[in-house]
Structure 1
Amino acid sequence: MTASQKNSERLSLPEQLHYSQDHVWLDDSSSPAVLGVTEYAAEQLGDLVFLDLPETGAHVEAGDEIVELESAKAVEPLVCPVAGTIAYVNRAAADDPGVINSDPYGEGWILKLELDDDQPDLMSADEYGKLIDLAQ
């Protein structure tokens, strides 16, 4: 059994997504690419109560802290794993951050980016599954 299969029993790791070590997922199958936090990150943060979104049109670099996620437990930055220009932000998630906890890979997306590089250096679902296994 692979790590992603073991984790998939309790955490969802969609195979078509790419993952960062900072627990951010990226779906680059469409343009603009969609970005959000993983189910694992949402679970670790607890119930989200506030989301501070960046402005559309802003250019970000890989490694930039672009969103602030606030829960009853902590305030954590979302570290962007890729460079690009922010095309859209999910205002519905800002109005109801709990959607990130309940549907992190669907309605809980955070922003959409026009990527500078169409080959981001991110992990597969299996590689990310191994990473979160080590964290537990």
Structure 2
Amino acid sequence: MAKKSLWEKIKGLFSNHSATAASQVKDGILYAPQADGTYLLSIDKSVFEQLGQITFADFPTDQSNIDVDDDILDIEGDKSVETLKSPIAGKVLKRNFEIGQDIDQLNQADPQKNWIMTIQPAN
């Protein structure tokens, strides 16, 4: 799971819901807990604001286990090129290879369409 700052931990104590029960965003990656304990990683709307429309995407590695801040997706947009990094550590269960062939899918703000991968978090 992503490392949390002291401030994030304090905010979590005073919020009405558990920090692990809600979607979170780190460096343009939305990571949402699923009912089965896995996490769905997708592109947050902040990426579109920074890059514009995405024109290219590729997985830089085929690692089956990733750590926090490992490269998970290279993307190119109208405004710049970025490498998105993992907000959590764990085992990669599934990659969305369709986003490389159908880039329009990646440009949709719906996490169920622009998802990158599912991860079983490390214990």
Mark yes or no: TM-score above 0.5.
Answer: yes
Give per-residue Cα distances to partners, 1:25-52, cap 9 Å, x unaligned: 1111234310012012123211111111
Does 2:87 align with 1:86? no
Amino acid at match of 1:106: Q
Aligned position for 2:65:
59
RMSD (Å) for aligned C-alpha atoms:
1.9
TM superposition shift of 1:111: 0.8
Task: Give aligned pairs, total.
Answer: 101
Runs of 4+ deviating beyond 2 Å: 29-32
TM superposition shift of 1:78: 0.6
- Looking at secondary structure, tell me which structure has more strand per residue: 2
Amino acid at match of 1:25: L
Structure 2 length-normalised TM: 0.72
List aligned pairs for 1:1-136, cutoff 5 A. Answer: 16-20=22-26, 22-31=27-36, 32-53=38-59, 54-55=61-62, 58-117=64-123
Higher RCO structure (Cα 8 Å, ≥6 apart)? 1
8 Å contact 1:69–1:76 — kept in the other structure? yes
- Looking at secondary structure, tell me which structure has more helix per residue: 1
- Percent of residue pairs bearing the same amino acid type: 23
Aligned position for 1:10:
none
